[in-house]
Structure 1
Amino acid sequence: MAHTPHGQLHIEKHLRSSAFISDIVIGMSDGLTVPFALAAGLSGAVSSSSLIVTAGIAEIVAGAIAMGLGGYLAGQTEADHYESERRREIREVETVPEREKEEVRDVFASMGLPADLQTAIADELAKDKTNWVDFMMKYELGLDEPDPKRATKSALTIGLSYVAGGLIPLCPYFILSHPHIALGYSCALTLLCLFIFGYFKSKVTGQPPTRGAIKVTLIGALAAAAAFGVARFLNA
């Protein structure tokens, strides 16, 4: 929020992508694409929708666990890396304070502040070692303290998003017994969802929404077509 030269209130609108949204995107993207391709491939090889449903659910469970575990490990690695770097900064503040002060001055020098002000800020910051270390973590290393529950939240969000996305292409197979008929409905439903998902994904990440929606839809369609073609070829 800012004021214009004429005194009018100017509200800046920014659409920001959070870690939560990123996890949804990761889980939903794979959830829509992988089971869709699997169902399409099996539709070209089997004559029973029940087999596709069974295989699809098994894949969704396995995929959700694998994706969730990957999210958990990534979040835990981020937390471990942050703690490791923080311990190193604490040790350096204790053992080589003058060098750390020089690094503080370098940060403000890069911002264009004069030398006397750089020294004054560095000396003042050094009076509180906790704030000093916080400053070095953020502005020297570019690291923000991660949420301690980030790993668990990430695992659950990615896993559940994968399940939600994966059930969409399977819905027609629950209702229709003939896989070729179910495939047509599955394609229409999944491609529509991919387009909508791609649109909002691109909007959140600041990309052209329509172009992003088309790209995501084409990727899903190509994956399904490739799986279907391979299955038909192997069973020819």
Structure 2
Amino acid sequence: MTDTHADEPHGAGLSQKLNWLRAGVLGANDGIVSVASLVVGVAGASTDSAALLIAGLAGLVGGAISMALGEYVSVSSQRDTERALIHKEREELRSMPDEELDELTQLYRQRGLSAETARTVAVELTEHDALAAHLEVELGIDQDDLVNPWHAAISSAISFTIGALLPLLAILLPPPELRVPVTFVAVLIALAITGVVSAKIGGASPVRASLRLVLGGALALVATWLIGTLLGTTGVV
């Protein structure tokens, strides 16, 4: 008999996997858009390959570090909050176990169990692992699957770098007259792909997610190219 639930995301480590996948997709998307906007803006003002390379590399390095630091701080704050909640729940179980058992019973009643069944479930789970039962039902936390800030930071930095390399190569490799069009096409295709991937991770509509990213990326590229062209024409650059 085929297991209809084989593809569903069960088991320990799900939070960790979704955490680094989310950071990776966001990092790649940011790398593509930010560096593409930067080099297209410079390309609108100058055809100097050295200037494009310097601008692109500066954006890549600075952006990767910024993304990694932002993810580390954000996920660290989330993990600190989860740890504080676990400590608080552990202390409550130690100091007032009867009240916590009543609370767990009530939570299961709110989920649709009868009073007798809810009490039985609460007692059996409390005997097995009281802390895990309360964390799962009250807070939706798995103490063995807390988010890892290092995973998020490393995933974000690597994916940002990979994403940033695409517009950097697209702007440097073609002849000057084709640099901007080639970069536009490459970036928009890459954004469409990251939109599909992010939608698959989040269970959303791939078309809608891709369209948002493509339109946003196109707007950013056009805006920076126009600014670069205007500054280059007026001789500011």
Q: Report the counterpart of residue 106 of structure 1 in structure 2.
A: 106
TM-score (norm 1): 0.86
Deviations 1:95-125 (A, max 9, x none): 1222211210111101222222323333334
Instruction: Check conservation: 1:49, 1:176, Cα contact below 8 A.
Output: no
- Is 1:167 matched up with 2:165? yes
Instruction: Check conservation: 1:15, 1:206, Cα contact below 8 A.
Output: no
Which 10-residue stretch deviates more, 91-100 or 57-66? 91-100
Q: Report the counterpart of residue 5 of structure 1 in structure 2.
A: none
- The separation in 1 between residues aligned to 2:8 and 2:100, in whole angstroms, is 36
1:188 is aligned, of 185, 189, 194, to: 185
Deviations 1:76-102 (A, max 9, x none): 222211211111111111112222112
2:156 is aligned, of 155, 158, 165, to: 158
Letter matched to residue 119 of structure 2? T
Question: C-alpha displacement at 1:177, in angstroms?
Answer: 6.0
Which 10-residue stretch deviates more, 210-219 or 83-92? 210-219
Letter matched to residue 154 of structure 2? L
- The separation in 2 between residues aligned to 1:127 and 1:110, in whole angstroms, is 21
Structural RMSD (CA): 2.2
- The separation in 1 between residues aligned to 2:84 and 2:200, in whole angstroms, is 35
Instruction: Check conservation: 1:49, 1:177, Cα contact below 8 A.
Output: no
- The separation in 1 between residues aligned to 2:162 and 2:198, in whole angstroms, is 16
Q: Report the counterpart of residue 206 of structure 1 in structure 2.
A: 203
Question: C-alpha displacement at 1:147, in angstroms?
Answer: 4.4
Q: Report the counterpart of residue 13 of structure 2 in structure 1.
A: none
Question: C-alpha displacement at 1:201, in angstroms?
Answer: 2.3
Instruction: Check conservation: 2:27, 2:160, Cα contact below 8 A.
Output: yes
Change (3 A) 1:149 1:215: closer
Which 10-residue stretch deviates more, 112-121 or 144-153? 144-153
Q: Report the counterpart of residue 43 of structure 1 in structure 2.
A: 43
User: How many residues align structurally?
Assistant: 226
Change (3 A) 1:77 1:140: same
Structure having the larger proportion of residues in helix:
2
Instruction: Check conservation: 1:28, 1:164, Cα contact below 8 A.
Output: yes
- Is 1:227 matched up with 2:220? no
Change (3 A) 1:147 1:119: closer
Identity of aligned residues (%): 26
- The separation in 2 between residues aligned to 1:122 and 1:181, in whole angstroms, is 68
Question: C-alpha displacement at 1:15, in angstroms?
Answer: 6.6
Instruction: Check conservation: 2:52, 2:172, Cα contact below 8 A.
Output: no
Instruction: Check conservation: 2:166, 2:187, Cα contact below 8 A.
Output: yes
- The separation in 2 between residues aligned to 1:184 and 1:15, in whole angstroms, is 41
Change (3 A) 1:147 1:52: farther
Letter matched to residue 137 of structure 2? Y
In the alignment, structure 1 segments of 5+ residues that lack a partner are: 1-7
Q: Report the counterpart of residue 79 of structure 1 in structure 2.
A: 79
Matches within 5 A, 1:126-141: 126-127=126-127, 131-141=129-139
In the alignment, structure 2 segments of 5+ residues that lack a partner are: 10-16
- The separation in 1 between residues aligned to 2:90 and 2:196, in whole angstroms, is 45
Runs of at least 4 residues of structure 1 off by over 6 A?
none
Letter matched to residue 230 of structure 1? I
- The separation in 2 between residues aligned to 1:220 and 1:227, in whole angstroms, is 11
Change (3 A) 1:173 1:112: closer
Question: C-alpha displacement at 1:49, in angstroms?
Answer: 2.0
Instruction: Check conservation: 1:103, 1:140, Cα contact below 8 A.
Output: no
Q: Report the counterpart of residue 141 of structure 2 in structure 1.
A: 143
